[in-house]
């Protein structure tokens, strides 16, 4: 796949990953303003759900960078009572996309008791690894993701993400994830815990004119010797293609496929993630029938 056909990651959003020299912490920071703007523009999300969606995108991107870079990570948040779904999808090349699916007229997702967060990691060979947590009363995307990390991944982590809105405009978005590594000593842990008290809500930092992933990293690791081991661009992007759109139709019953093929006109199908429209010639569905 030629990624340049899909998205130039020139958004200016960056992700940085650092390790402290004492082996105590792995810290990942991200600026995701353009990424969230792009993904949100492709979905019809406004108000509170736009904030929840932005936060889920940022948390997913941060989580992907805690692991091997070739992993793809998808997070699916289902509202309490099964009402509504938010999806964040982070590709190894930095492309990030998402879906907002809410009941008609709804502008927010209930992240309280009964809401579910499912996180899936796909390895290059297609092997899938997934975990799920049920959220508690009064949960947010941030606290839900933290409990996922604790319960499912069993890694002590501190996560904070922010999506700052002005009306329906995304002013800024970003966040950080600090992981405690097995070598962490009592001293550094106490220092970091005290420091992160001031960074539980980072909307003010993220909305600041000078906000950057590098700047936030320096703030979090001030006075702690560390090495930046990764700096990568991220941005809104979709990896849909005509072939993928056709493959998605393979789930239809054969009778429905045959009916579609009767139509002499090309089928108009658009990608749910980015809205790109594909004209599929009915004849190209023949292959799906013979393989089913
Ligand atoms: Zn697409």
Distance (Å) from CA 87 to ligand 1 centroid: 14
Q: What share of the chain is helix, strand, coil (3-state, %, to 5)?
A: 35, 30, 35
Angle subtended at Cα 194 by Cα 188 and Cα 195, rounded to the nearest 5 degrees: 85
Q: What are the C-alpha distances in Å from 60 to residues 76, 190, 191, 231, 267? A: 10, 27, 26, 17, 33
CA distance to 121, 237, 250, per residue, from 276 (Å)? 25, 11, 19
Spacing, Cα 145 to ligand 1 middle (Å): 26
Q: Cα of 91 to ligand 1 centre, how many Å?
A: 13
| CB-count burial class (<10 Å; 0-12, 13-18, 19+) for 162 | buried
Q: Among 3.30.750.24, 3.30.465.10, 3.30.1360.120, 3.90.1280.10, what is the CATH number of 242-291?
A: 3.90.1280.10
Distance 28 CA to ligand 1 centre (A): 27
State pLDDT tens for residues 252-275.
Answer: 888 888 888 888 888 888 999 999
CATH of domain 3-236: 3.55.30.10
User: In sequence order, what are the beta bridge partners of 86?
Assistant: 77, 100
List Cβ neighbours of 256 (8 Å cut-off, separation of 6 or more).
none
182 Cβ contact partners less than 8 Å away, ≥ 6 residues apart = none
Q: 45 CA distance to ligand 1 centroid (A)?
A: 17
pTM over 0.75: yes
Lowest mean pLDDT among 3-17, 74-88, 275-289: 3-17
Residue ranges covered by each domain of the chain = 3-236, 242-291
Whole-number Å distance between alpha carbons of 288 and 273: 23
Q: Do 134 and 114 contact (CB within 8 A), yes or no? A: yes
pLDDT digits (tens, 9 = 90+) for 106-146: 888 888 889 999 999 988 788 888 999 999 888 889 999 99
Ligand 1 midpoint to CA 272 (Å): 7
Cα-to-centroid distance, 275 and ligand 1 (Å): 6
């Amino acid at each position: 796949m030629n990624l340049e056909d899909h998205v130039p990651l020139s958004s200016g959003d960056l992700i940085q990953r650092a390790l402290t020299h004492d082996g105590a912490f792995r810290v990942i920071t991200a600026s995701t303003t353009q990424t969230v703007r792009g993904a949100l523009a492709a979905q019809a999300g406004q108000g509170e759900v736009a904030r929840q969606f932005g936060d889920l995108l940022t948390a997913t991107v941060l989580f992907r960078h805690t692991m091997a870079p070739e992993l793809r990570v998808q997070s699916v948040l289902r509202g309490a009572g099964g009402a509504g779904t938010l999806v964040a999808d982070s590709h190894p090349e930095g492309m990030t996309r998402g879906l907002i699916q809410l009941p008609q007229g709804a502008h927010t997702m209930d992240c309280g008791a009964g809401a579910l967060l499912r996180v899936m990691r796909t390895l290059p060979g297609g092997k899938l690894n997934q975990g799920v947590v049920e959220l508690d009363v009064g949960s947010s995307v941030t606290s839900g993701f933290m409990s996922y990390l604790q319960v499912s991944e069993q890694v002590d982590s501190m996560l904070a993400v922010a999506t700052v809105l002005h009306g329906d405009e995304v002013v800024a978005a970003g966040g950080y994830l600090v992981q405690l590594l097995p070598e962490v000593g009592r001293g550094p842990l106490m220092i970091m815990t005290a420091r992160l008290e001031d960074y539980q809500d980072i909307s003010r930092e993220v909305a600041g004119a000078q906000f950057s992933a590098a700047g936030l990293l320096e703030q979090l690791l001030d006075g702690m010797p560390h090495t930046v081991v990764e700096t990568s661009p991220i941005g809104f992007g979709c990896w849909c293609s005509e072939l993928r759109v056709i493959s998605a139709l393979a789930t239809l019953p054969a009778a429905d496929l045959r009916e579609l093929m009767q139509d002499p006109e090309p089928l108009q199908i658009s990608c749910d993630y980015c809205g790109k429209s594909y004209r599929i010639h009915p004849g190209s569905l023949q292959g799906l029938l013979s393989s089913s």
